Each structure stands twice: as structure tokens, then as C-alpha cells.
Amino acid sequence: SSEEEAAAVQPSVMVDRVEPSERIRLSPGSPLHQYSSIAQK
């Protein structure tokens, strides 16, 4: 159903709404991960 498809897409949609700094912090593989962590201290 379309509702099931929407539920499957929801996680990525929520991530897109997260602030860029938060998105970087939540992405350990990002080269900016350490910089973001330092900046928030």
C-alpha cells in the first residue's frame, strides 16, 4: 500500500530534516565528524 511505502521512506525524510551539523555528527564515516564533535564542545 502507499502507506507502507511512506513508512519505508520516513527514516530518510526525518534525517533530511535534521540540522546539517547533527547529520554530520550522526554520520561517523563523515570526514567532518570529528570537527563537528569538537565544535559542539
DSSP secondary structure letters along 16-37? HHS-HHHHHHT-TTSTTHHHHH
33 Cβ contact partners less than 8 Å away, ≥ 6 residues apart: 24, 25, 27
32: cell is 567532518
pLDDT given at position 14: 53
pLDDT of residue 6: 58
pLDDT, position 7: 57
Which residues form the domain of 7?
2-39
**pLDDT for position 22:** 62
Give residue 31's pLDDT: 60
pLDDT digits over 28-41, tens only?
665 655 555 555 55
Measured distance CA(30)–CA(26) in Å, rounded: 9
pLDDT digits (tens, 9 = 90+) for 3-23: 666 555 555 555 556 566 665
pTM: 0.17
| Number of domains, the chain | 1
Q: Specify the residue for cell string 564515516.
A: 29
